[in-house]
Structure formats: C-alpha cells, structure tokens
C-alpha cells in the first residue's frame, strides 16, 4: 500500500518504521529523564557519603512525605514543646535519623539536598559571595513573606541582610525599649487588659 504526501511517496511500512523510531526516541528520552538521570545522581552522591530515601518512579518521595505529614497532624499534641520539627516537618525529622544530618530527597522531579548540620548551615549562610539560592515559594508563601530577607536572593539579599543586621543590633533594640513599653501600656489600657489578666488567662487551664 502506498500513500502520496506532497511530491513524496511513502509506503505504509516506511511510515510505520518512522513512527516506531520516533516512539522509541520519545521513550528513551522519558526513561533517561525519569529514571536514568535520578538513579545516576543518587549513586554518585552515595559515593560521596550522602544518601537518602530511595527514588520512586511514580511518586518520587512525595507520597512518603504526604503520609508522614498526615500522620503527624492526626496525632494529638499532649505535651507542648519547643521541639516542633517532628510535627511541622516529620519527614526531615525521620530522615535525619536514618540517613544523617545531610541527605537527598526527591520532591517531584526536583532533587533537594537537605542540610541540617549546624556548622555547614552556618558556612553556607555566611559565604563570602553572599549568594544563597532558595526554593521557589508557593503562592501563599509569597503573599505571606513578600520580598523580605527570607525570600530575597543574591545582591538584594545581601543589602536587606545588612539593613536588618543594623536595625536589629543590640544597641538599637535597647534604645527602642521605652517605645515598646509605652506602646504595650497604650494597647493594654485601650483593650482593657492588664498583667493580671494575662496571668489569669495563661493559668486558666
């Protein structure tokens, strides 16, 4: 069987072969992106001593993270504590125990290197180039934090960091204490609250 396309005559077998070749190339490209590259990166990082939860072809680590967060939220908090990591980010709390303070995790197709070692965090945040690449915020995170130091990067982050360091310096904060006291007294008198009211509310349970 023959098919005429413009001035070119294509037989059905040649058309079918072309289609199969294109299909094979697409499959190879998808396989390379979704499996070969992630596993190669994971093996390379493991050779450097950095491991992490296994890469999953379909869900990556998303399903594990989602299940841990759901389990943490379902638990009732009986004893209040400043150690909130197990409740807020249970996957990081669990995986730092299993894989060490620095580990790899897969969030969709994005490879995330989690660094929880304090000394290394300090070195990264205080590098001389003042460049700290951050994860792209969600829509709600952007609305909440805006263009603050937490969201800024590069030169903009450096400038905002200098301004905030100056504004929150100990001597500057001490000079603001009288204004803080006056503002607190004004608020308490306006709202009808006093120290004894706060004390009674805090010890009501």
What are the tens digits of pLDDT across the range 95-110? 999 999 999 998 877 8
Q: Quote the CA–CA distance of 102 and 173 in Å, as a whole number.
A: 35
**What does the pLDDT read at residue 139?**
79
* pLDDT for the residue 124: 79
**pLDDT number for residue 197:** 52
Domain boundaries, the chain: 1-49, 50-74+82-126, 178-205
What are the tens digits of pLDDT across the range 139-158? 777 777 887 877 887 778 77
Output the six-digit token pair for 205. 């349970």
Per-residue confidence at 77, pLDDT binned at 50, 70, 90?
A: low
- Give residue-wise pLDDT tens across range 160-195: 888 888 778 778 888 888 888 888 888 777 766 555
Residue 16 predicted with pLDDT over 50: yes
In this structure, is the dihedral angle defined by the CA atoms of residues 57, 32, 114 and 148, taken in order, positive or negative? Answer: negative
**Tens digits of per-residue pLDDT, 31-47?**
888 888 888 999 999 99
Is the pLDDT confidence value at 126 over 80? no
DSSP state of 128: T
Q: Which of 93, 56, 54 is nearest to 72 (CA)?
A: 93
- pLDDT, averaged across the chain: 79
HEC string of 64-117 equals: HHHHHHHHHHHCCCCCCCCCCHHHHCHHHHHHHHHHCCEEEEEECCEEEEEECC
194, HSE (Cβ side, Cα atoms, 13 Å) = 1
Contacts of residue 42, defined as CB under 8 A and 6 or more positions apart, other chains included, come to: 52, 55, 104
């Amino acid at each position: 069987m023959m098919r005429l396309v413009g001035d070119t005559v294509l037989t059905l077998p040649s058309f079918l072969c072309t289609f199969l070749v294109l299909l094979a190339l697409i499959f190879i490209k998808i396989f390379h992106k979704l499996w070969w590259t992630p596993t190669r990166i994971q093996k390379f990082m493991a050779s450097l001593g950095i491991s992490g939860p296994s890469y999953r072809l379909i869900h990556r680590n998303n399903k594990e993270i989602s299940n841990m967060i759901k389990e943490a939220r379902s638990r009732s908090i009986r004893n209040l504590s400043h150690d909130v990591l197990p409740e807020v980010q249970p996957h990081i709390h669990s995986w730092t125990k299993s894989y060490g303070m620095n580990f790899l995790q897969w969030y969709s197709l994005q490879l995330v290197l989690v660094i929880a070692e304090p000394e290394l965090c300090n070195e990264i945040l205080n590098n001389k180039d003042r460049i700290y690449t951050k994860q792209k915020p969600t829509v709600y995170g952007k609305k909440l934090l805006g263009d603050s130091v937490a969201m800024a990067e590069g030169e903009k982050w450096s400038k905002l960091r200098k301004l905030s360091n100056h504004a929150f310096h100990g001597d500057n904060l001490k000079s603001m204490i009288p204004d803080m006291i006056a503002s607190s007294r004004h608020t308490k008198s306006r709202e009808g609250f006093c120290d004894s009211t706060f004390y009674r509310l805090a010890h009501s349970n």
